[in-house]
Structure 1
């Protein structure tokens, strides 16, 4: 029996942060808008299509962006709103999709393989897009194809606020005229190498002998050739199976010292936040767990604005502990869990000190990776020496 025809839809919220800002302030519609950090030190998080026409791009230094588009309106960003809208779109998709992956805060893959026995996958995807737009008022584009790679490139071609279906068997023809830079992973170095070989379009790649590409680019050359044929085996990873990051500590002796328990809580939150950053993830939910000597276990969680920072997670963990802990009761086990994980797609800064904070965390994590995780700790977690 033949395998069912693969159908993968890729959804992407257009200029997501800008779109949310425009919903909250309709006077921004149709104008060159840049969301990002400070005018002097900041970076562009995202920008409207009106600003892109002047060459403004995500992750560009704000000084450069303002030089290219001096009349642009600079918006600081309201991260809580982005989290709210992202969750809203996720809920709409989760209610309808048989299997979906949340690739980032504003990007989703839906696997409709085998569903053509029950409905037309293309019409179903159009209907879902319509529902998202009607309910949230956010513009969203999609590409539908037989694999994730082609679907994502189709979305890119469909923007802004459009959709495109690449029918089975048409993958290679669709990709052929596009520049090789459309493939993710083709950086400046690879691009220059390909240009020196006379390769400019994806068709040029597909017509080059696989051995020649492998000789010039190694394993990446082989991958590139298969991609140019429209072949991609990446799977859609179910969102509800996205792993949480957690840690817990069972104490050798039951503990009643609240200062000690809070010190442990901070240490554990630091630990899971570090792991979060190593996985290049953001978290949207934090939970604290307490087990008492009689093995009664209680936990409490709360949703939060997507973050990867200790200083935003620790106060929430402490607040959850105070709401959960039965005063005076000895504690056998304490735990912290981060869930609702998504890829770290927030480029640049949304607040004045965000760049500095991100640089600080990167520096701290680099030191931990080099010399060991125990070297740098929050002051509260360092145990006082006897004496």
Structure 2
């Protein structure tokens, strides 16, 4: 049985949410982001015409498009709208994977026996737009990679079907940057050896690509040839992540406990960024030597930055630790998670801070989680 995989993506999701609340923004160049030193979280097609793109510093974006209106953004509202879309799709689809806050994979394999998958998906997209007011695009093919590339080509508010016989003709003329796993570094590396189109990449010997790119070389060759057997993973919403430490001997070393909390915050924030989550609620727990347990929580703007999480956690500890008794256990939990592609809180953090975290994460991935840490997280 031939697979039928759909990729659905909400067009300029953050911008569309703002326009839903304020129709006066329709047709205007819009930038979603925070502050003069912040970066672009999302932008409208009108802004992209001038060269504005995501993750660009706000100052640079405004030089390119001075007429753009900058909106700080409201992740709570975006999360709510994403949840509404998820419910509509989940109700109708036999197997759905939520890949980010604004994109979904659907496995419709076998449904052609009852009705056309393409027509059925068109009706689902119309239902999403009618009930939420948000524009959405999709593409149908036999695997996730081709469908995702197809959605990108169909936007805005477009749709296409790429049958198996049309996969290679569809992919061949496109730039290698259209392949999801090709970032700027890989693009520059391949460009230097004359590989700029998917057609050229697909004809390269897989062994040569492996020598050039390592273990990703073979996978990239498969994607260039329209080969992707990755399954659609059923959608489940993760509720929280946490870390706890039980002392061998009950402690009253407050400075040491705060150092431990800082280390927990750094560890959990790194996990958030790797798994592409943002948290909105931070919970601190302590258990006294007499086994009494207390917790306290606070709400924050959606973030995955450990400097924000640790600051809030330490403030909570100061509020909750009131008895001056020895502590048996301390814990930190992050809840109210939103799953998305945004590894940092682009509304709060500067370009310099985002670059710092990206560099730290890269070192941790390559050399281990303890390879680089904040000095405040060490117990001297």
Quickly name the TM-score band, shorter chain normalised. Answer: 0.7 to 0.9
Distance in 2, Cα, partners of 1:89 & 1:293: 47
Deviation string for 1:288-308 (max 9, x for gaps)? Answer: 778999999999999975421
Give the counterpart of 1:205 among 180, 201, 206.
201
Deviation at 1:372, TM superposition (A): 6.8
In structure 2, the residue matched to 1:35 is 32
In structure 2, the residue matched to 1:283 is 279
Decide whether the 8 Å contact of 2:304 with 2:345 is kept in 1. Answer: no
Equivalent runs, 1:7-26 vs 2, <5 Å: 7-26=4-23
- Partner of 2:244, secondary structure, is strand
Equivalent runs, 1:49-88 vs 2, <5 Å: 49-88=45-84
State TM-score, norm by structure 2.
0.76
- Partner of 2:164, secondary structure, is coil
Deviation at 1:225, TM superposition (A): 2.9
State TM-score, norm by structure 1.
0.75
Deviation at 1:223, TM superposition (A): 3.1
Decide whether the 8 Å contact of 1:144 with 1:151 is kept in 2. Answer: yes
Decide whether the 8 Å contact of 1:101 with 1:109 is kept in 2. Answer: yes
Change (3 A) 1:165 1:299: farther
Gaps of 5+ in 1: none
Change (3 A) 1:5 1:73: same
Aligned length: 375
Deviation at 1:247, TM superposition (A): 2.2
Deviation at 1:270, TM superposition (A): 5.5
Deviation at 1:197, TM superposition (A): 5.3
Decide whether the 8 Å contact of 1:144 with 1:166 is kept in 2. Answer: yes
Decide whether the 8 Å contact of 1:33 with 1:50 is kept in 2. Answer: yes
- Partner of 2:138, secondary structure, is strand
- Partner of 1:6, secondary structure, is coil
> Does structure 1 residue 345 correspond to structure 2 residue 355?
no
In structure 1, the residue matched to 2:376 is 376
> Does structure 1 residue 234 correspond to structure 2 residue 235?
no
In structure 1, the residue matched to 2:119 is 123
Gaps of 5+ in 2: none
Distance in 2, Cα, partners of 1:114 & 1:295: 56
Decide whether the 8 Å contact of 2:95 with 2:234 is kept in 1. Answer: yes
Distance in 2, Cα, partners of 1:265 & 1:196: 46
Change (3 A) 1:377 1:75: same
Distance in 1, Cα, partners of 2:5 & 2:191: 31
Change (3 A) 1:320 1:176: same
Deviation at 1:245, TM superposition (A): 2.4
In structure 1, the residue matched to 2:170 is 174
Distance in 2, Cα, partners of 1:260 & 1:156: 50
Most deviating of 96-105 and 142-151: 96-105
- Partner of 2:54, secondary structure, is coil
Give the counterpart of 1:248 among 244, 247, 253.
244
Change (3 A) 1:318 1:133: farther
Deviation string for 1:175-195 (max 9, x for gaps)? Answer: 122222211333455445555
Distance in 2, Cα, partners of 1:371 & 1:177: 42
Distance in 2, Cα, partners of 1:350 & 1:234: 33
Distance in 2, Cα, partners of 1:276 & 1:196: 34
Change (3 A) 1:119 1:197: same
Please, what is the CA RMSD of the aligned residues?
A: 4.5
Deviation at 1:152, TM superposition (A): 0.5
